[in-house]
Structure 1
Amino acid sequence: MKNKWCTLLITIISIITLCNVGCGRKEYTKEEVYEDFKNQISKITSYTCTAKVEAIGNKENTTYIFKHTYTKPDYYKLEVKSPKNLQGKTIEYKGDKVLVHNPNVNDTVELPNINNDSHYLFIGDFIKNYMQNEEVVLEATESELKIEIEIPGDNKYFNKQILYINNKTKNPDKMEI
């Protein structure tokens, strides 16, 4: 009888141990997260997101909330959600023109898109630069993958983009310029 209980106890402990070990969460490697991200971004044709942008200045920092819209190959739109005094204003980049709309005075201004490459705030721009860039720096932590690329040109203030990818969701969490 004692042997039966001992065997039963060992069997139960073995089952519990196997379930805990076998059903544990998989930790993704840097390479797996990177490959999943590459596959995911190659299929993106458009996206919309809310972006919190912190502009760091000499005297003070300013935080803006934007609604970003991107459609391949060259449509970018920023709509200001915050601060209140700029709320509702939009900037649309459509190929060779830029449309600036101010709903407070019901005015739209059309400008030539002289610097056609400067859409640094958009993940769509990161994707375009990433696809054309030969040098990509990867750094992984337990929770995220950091992808760093150079921005084409010789602007000392805008020379690299860093995108942080969540290891679990494989989605971008943050971008630094």
Structure 2
Amino acid sequence: MKRLVYVIFISIFMTSCGGPNEYEQVHENIIKLDSYCYEMEFCVISNKNENMYKIRVTANAEDGYMVEILEPENIKRIVTRYNKDKTEQENTSIQDKITLVDTEKFDYNILMLSNFKKVYMQQDKIEINKQKDGTYKVEISIPNGNYYFNKQEIIFDGQDKQPIIMNVYNEDGQKTIEGKVCKDNQR
């Protein structure tokens, strides 16, 4: 009898000491979203039309983050740099720069994965759901959101557990931003 109890105890101990499961891997990748570089194609959906954009985002925990617009052509090469005390927007094609000192209104930018991580860490309860296609979905409520920006979800790849899709929903549950994160993200 002692041997059976000992075997059960060792079995439980060994299974609990295994490597991280797939949900923990998604969680760990969210925790690492302070420093990264990626390109994102996204569509802003309104009741009248849809507008397509392509941006490059570079983030560093110490330096803040930078968003460069790559498409559409008419606003290409507008670069916005966010850091703790100011926000700069530069049109690199005409060498024009605007600096904003009061950056409180930019506290939550829905296109920044680091902001998603910040809110994720503040939530009391977060669910990581495995989808039928093998991907993982994490959904949060946007802090100080409005009618158009109420909930945000990120879909993580089933293999490497990296972000691949970012969607934003309005209060009625309709998609207002649909984004695809290109696989070139580096940390």
User: Structure 2 length as normaliser, TM-score?
Assistant: 0.72
Of 44, 56, 65, the match for 2:45: 56
Number of aligned residue pairs: give it. 147
User: 1:59 & 1:159 partners in 2: Cα distance?
Assistant: 20
Q: Which runs of structure 2 are paired with 1:58-73 in the superposition (5 Å)?
A: 58-72=47-61
One-letter amino acid matched to 1:120 = I
Aligned to 1:79: 68
Of 7, 24, 27, the match for 1:38: 27
User: Structure 1 length as normaliser, TM-score?
Assistant: 0.76
1:74 CA displacement = 6.7
Matched, 1:126 2:116: yes
Greater RCO (Cα-Cα under 8 Å, separation 6 or more): 2
Q: Which runs of structure 2 are paired with 1:16-165 in the superposition (5 Å)?
A: 32-72=21-61, 75-112=64-101, 113-141=103-131, 142-165=133-156
Aligned residues: CA RMSD = 1.8
1:92–1:99 contact (8 Å) kept in structure 2: yes
1:96–1:116 contact (8 Å) kept in structure 2: no
2:33–2:113 contact (8 Å) kept in structure 1: no
User: 2:116 & 2:92 partners in 1: Cα distance?
Assistant: 29
Which of the two has greater helix per residue? 1
Aligned to 1:171: 162
Based on CA coordinates, which of the two structures has the bigger radius of gyration?
1
Identity %: 29
1:40 CA displacement = 2.7
Cα distance change on mapping 1:137 and 1:157 into 2, 3 Å: farther
User: 2:29 & 2:93 partners in 1: Cα distance?
Assistant: 39
Cα distance change on mapping 1:36 and 1:86 into 2, 3 Å: same
1:72 CA displacement = 1.4
Cα distance change on mapping 1:38 and 1:81 into 2, 3 Å: same
Cα distance change on mapping 1:154 and 1:176 into 2, 3 Å: closer
1:33–1:145 contact (8 Å) kept in structure 2: no
2:155–2:166 contact (8 Å) kept in structure 1: yes
* Unpaired segments ≥5 residues, structure 1: 1-30
1:136–1:147 contact (8 Å) kept in structure 2: yes
Deviations 1:113-170 (A, max 9, x none): 1314221111111111111111323321232011111111242222221010111111
1:137–1:149 contact (8 Å) kept in structure 2: no
Greater CA deviation, 37-46 or 161-170?
37-46
